[in-house]
A and B are shown apart, each in its own frame.
With several copies, the nearest count.
Chain A
Amino acid sequence: MLHTVNKSPFEASSLKTCLSLAREGSDVLLIEDGVYGGLAGSAHAAMVEDALKSVKVYALGPDLKARGLAEDRLISGIEVVDYEGFVELACANDKVQSWL
């Protein structure tokens, strides 16, 4: 199952809710303002690092670039994908849940 999160964890609760409900082996894709959730050294980094033990976390490259975030700012273990990769993740998982 693919989960997408499009809001910043600093302003909204959706990343936290997603990670609390995503089962082991799920894919989580950070898009739009959700990519801020991937920032290393932030107040929410520990939550994401903890989640990385049981789920795979991706971040959408075009949204990182739009926000001036280089890949080396991301928590280690987060994989960057483009829109093509987003489509591939949607195919590879049996369903998609958007945590709007």
Chain B
Amino acid sequence: METKVSETKKFMYINRHAPHGTVYAHEGLEVVLIGAAFEQDVCMAFIGDGVFQLKQDQDTTEAGMKNFSPAYRALGDYEVNKLYVERESLEERGMSEDDLMPLTWEDEDDDWAEKPSIRVVSRQELSDLLEEQDVILNF
């Protein structure tokens, strides 16, 4: 296998943990934001309890923790705009797309039109997406 320094790889960040109970979601998001500077072909997948990361209206004030959920809104500015959410995981949790933060990005090739970043996909579609990747990190 040939590896070139200039090569663009397909990176997928899989998020399978709920926020706040453990730090994986928070520190995983930090990897994605730093990684955005490397100009790779990046997407995120939210599977299982990972879908809870995108829940609207998170407020950690009473729990005395940091609320990192607003940082997901920054993803679009970093050109991380493919956020795949597994439909089956939402349904199993009694959740729907309306529960998720309305994350968007601005498409410079389309006169900076604001477009949704979140795409709810089936398990089968997600399985296909997994196969396409070069590097997969799991948080």
Q: Residues of A with Cβ closer than 8 Å to B?
A: 1, 6-8, 10-11, 13-14, 17, 20-23, 32-33, 36, 39-43, 45, 61-63, 65-70, 73, 82, 94-100
Please judge, given known A-B contacts A42-B92, A65-B63, A82-B62, whether A17 and B126 are in contact too, CB under 8 Å.
Answer: no
Q: Residues of B with Cβ closer than 8 Å to A?
A: 1, 14, 16-22, 47-49, 52, 55-65, 67, 69, 92-95, 99, 123, 126-128, 130-131, 133-136, 138-139
A4 to chain B, nearest CB (A): 10
Give chain B residues whose Cβ lies under 8 Å from the Cβ of A70: 57
Q: Cα distance A91–B59 when bound, in Å?
A: 28
Quick one: which of A13, A17, A61 has the most chain B CB within 10 A? A17
Give chain B residues whose Cβ lies under 8 Å from the Cβ of A40: 94
Inter-chain contact B93/A43, CB cutoff 8 Å: yes
Inter-chain contact B58/A67, CB cutoff 8 Å: yes
Known: A32-B20, A42-B94; 17 extra A-B contacts, CB below 8 A, are A10-B49, A10-B93, A14-B16, A17-B47, A23-B128, A23-B130, A39-B95, A61-B62, A62-B62, A65-B63, A66-B62, A66-B65, A67-B58, A68-B58, A68-B69, A95-B133, A95-B135
Q: Is the interface of B mostly helix, strand, loop or mixed?
A: loop
A70 to chain B, nearest CB (A): 7
Give chain B residues whose Cβ lies under 8 Å from the Cβ of A32: 20-21
